[in-house]
Structure 1
């Protein structure tokens, strides 16, 4: 890589951001602090390495210059990213006004400073509030979350939670609560804390479910699981109003967002992700667990890299299968539920095969970038589309997809659950007889370090034959 010319003070000049690809950053933090501190910068991200900063002075600077309070160097960022940082990149100031103390960030950089993804702009100032996220040079290069100890938001959390964790910004929200970034006090390990209200809520407009029971179910399921492609639970804190589930933090985002950003995944990448999903769901099924709400939003990616570990999450609808192997509860997300779930007959039962249908919908979306079933398709109601198994391989989106991949989609999206392919059979399908994919997945999962009973059969020992699956109706234009 070419070196930027040095300035008179001996530091290389700031490199223009156009020369550098956008990234997310990662950091580590060491415990420390002062009881009189008014704020703290918690490090966040994937690829950078910063310590946390306890704030007790009224002004702090950050940049490559040696006079800065936070000196950014090769110990924090690799060279190509480091050269996008100005000698004095930003300043954080705590000032007193007639309305009391307030905090602001001033952007002094050439390439820009971002707060919550919004460019501040050189010479501009922006108020810095509790849980604001700071990025350097590019909005995806996240480095710190600002925590304001003068903010009283933390008082709403139970004492048991506040004693163990510092709560930070919202990572996501759903119908029954939200997920927040949190730091364990003492070690500053980062976690995702799922906050679930104990109030009752209506599921799909039909059934009332007591949220306490649903939470207890999720906790019990997660505590029993140990697989590299399944989210791990670390702690559970119960309070009168809510349950706080402390989960491992996965920073690569949702599979849904990855597919939407790329429009559709290339076939090798889709295969790598789907192979891992199958391994995770097979593990669940071997444990007698049906997830029942598999969808791209519940598949998380460990990193922004194309080759990344995937993690199945959100077991709020999972259930230990009874001895007869049948489930009767009507649940799941409408566009992903199997046809046998929608029939709603009093005697309707369904098995683990409902997860296989959902996996088929996920694979379809990964390969094509659009859903097989949708209320947006006006020629037929959504429920009828699913009950008849009617979907279309649109020529433009499926032009480069192989026939074996399409065949696996067909076999998973088979209306009759007795004829639908199982997870075990899916792993034996010719499309997944790919030693390179299996080797990459095995490396990502670290299976060589796991106990023998948690390991899954290698690709070389899988049979390549499958019985034909009938009973599926399909409209295809490919």
Structure 2
């Protein structure tokens, strides 16, 4: 199906190679035929809460609600550290979202290629991410309600912050980080009310997820994004995930049953005070230590 995107009649945009694949769709290169400017275009697939197991078929209002929520959320969020959405639409039975192209790849690719980052550079990246999250958690939005209307809300929780979704643009000497892929984002004011996420469903990436999100994905609050940002900083500093995930073991049970390994045990060269802040940010039992992006930013800025 992905190869078929090359032959779609997109008029203004020529669709090129696939850049990535995620839980909610595939991303391709798109080139403006007139200006030659390059973009990224995401073709969205039906949501995880559709299909024979749920009795909800793609193309039904419930299926479209999840897709439309992603489109409208992406279009509404305008911030220097959030990937900019330019336009969206529906063609050949698929929804699409045209976005800015972050040509330098992801933080995940950067760390895997070059190794752990310098602490000051990693903290600077994290402060930028937290700025984007603080904005997203409070931005006024109008999201689809699943019945053809819209609901005014304030703020969404991303629910899948991780190094793979933190993209880099600008120059290699001075990269700018941007939060991508709000496919699992949901207005937390409406947690449990939209009918788009089924009770008990678990989405996202266990390695960058606090135990609260595993227990109650449907009712996730902004603090889960703060924890994930701290886990991403841990990865930038050490090249490892906060928890150890053994082969053959259920990763969701690992999140539930284990705590983050102290950062100093992974990377003894990290400044001790910074390591303590990161360790504090990764406390998630009985509650997440830093409840807001602003609180975590304040701690890192003090360092």
Which residue, 267, 274, 286 being the options, matches 1:405?
274
Deviations 1:149-181 (A, max 9, x none): xxx967731x3x2x1211122222234532111
State the Cα distance separating 1:399 from its structure 2 match: 1.5
> Which residue of the partner structure matches residue 188 of structure 2?
321
Structure 1 residue 201 displacement after superposition: 4.5
8 A Cα contact 1:389 1:414, kept in partner: no
Flag structure 1 segments of 5+ consecutive residues without an equivalent.
1-151, 435-478
Matched, 1:341 2:189: no
Tell me if the contact between 2:6 and 2:15 (Cα under 8 Å) persists in the aligned partners.
no
Q: Which has the higher helix share?
A: 2
Separation (CA, whole Å) in 2 of partners of 1:293 and 1:154 = 26
1:192 aligns with 2:40: yes
Aligned counterpart, 1:427? 297
> Structure 1 residues 354 and 271, CA, compared in 2 at 3 Å: closer, same or farther?
same
Bigger drift between 275-284 and 326-335 goes to 326-335
Deviations 1:369-401 (A, max 9, x none): 1111243378x7533442245232375741110
2:204 is equivalent to residue 356 of structure 1: no
Report the TM-score, using the length of structure 2 for normalisation. 0.79
> Which residues in structure 2 correspond to 1:294-333 (within 5 Å)?
294-303=161-170, 305-322=172-189, 330-333=202-205
Question: 1:411 offset after TM fit, Å?
Answer: 2.1
In the alignment, what sits opposite 1:392? 261
Could you say which residue in structure 2 is the equivalent of 1:263? 115
Distance 1:208 1:264 in 2: 45
Larger radius of gyration: 1
How much has 1:234 moved relative to structure 2? Answer: 0.8
Residue 170 in 1 paired to residue 18 in 2?
A: yes
State the match for 1:470 in structure 2: none
| C-alpha separation in 2, matches of 1:386 and 1:278 | 23
1:282 and 1:423 in contact (8 A); partners too: yes
CA distance in 2, matches of 1:222, 1:401: 35
Separation in 1 of the partners of 2:241 and 2:54? 26
Looking at structure 1, the residues matched to 186 and 219 of structure 2 have their Cα atoms a distance apart, in angstroms, of 14
Determine the C-alpha separation between the residues in 2 that align with 1:366 and 1:154: 34
Summarize the Cα distance change of 1:352–1:389 in structure 2 as closer, same or farther, 3 Å threshold.
farther
In structure 1, what is the Cα distance between the partners aligned to 2:297 and 2:126?
10
For the Cα contact (< 8 Å) 1:269–1:306, is it kept in 2?
no
Counterpart of 2:148? none
* Cα displacement (A) at 1:252: 0.8
Alignment of 1:26-425 (within 5 A): 156-157=7-8, 159=9, 161=10, 163-198=11-46, 201=48, 211-287=63-139, 288-303=155-170, 305-322=172-189, 330-343=202-215, 349-376=219-246, 382-393=251-262, 397-416=266-285, 418-421=287-290, 422-425=292-295
The separation in 1 between residues aligned to 2:55 and 2:34, in whole angstroms, is 41
SS of structure 1 residue aligned to 2:189:
coil
The Cα shift of 1:208 comes to 8.0
Q: Aligned partners of 1:376 and 1:343: how far apart in 2?
A: 20
Q: After the TM superposition, which of the residue ranges 248-257 and 405-414 deviates more from structure 2?
A: 405-414
String of CA shifts for 1:423-478, please: whole Å, max 9, x gaps.
1111111x3236xxxxxxxxxxxxxxxxxxxxxxxxxxxxxxxxxxxxxxxxxxxx
Sort the Cα spacing of 1:300 and 1:154 in 2 relative to 1 into closer, same or farther, 3 A: closer
Tell me how far apart the structure 2 counterparts of residues 332 and 341 of structure 1 sit (CA, whole Å): 9
Normalising by structure 1, report the TM-score: 0.52
- Alpha-carbon RMSD across the aligned residues, in angstroms, is 3.1
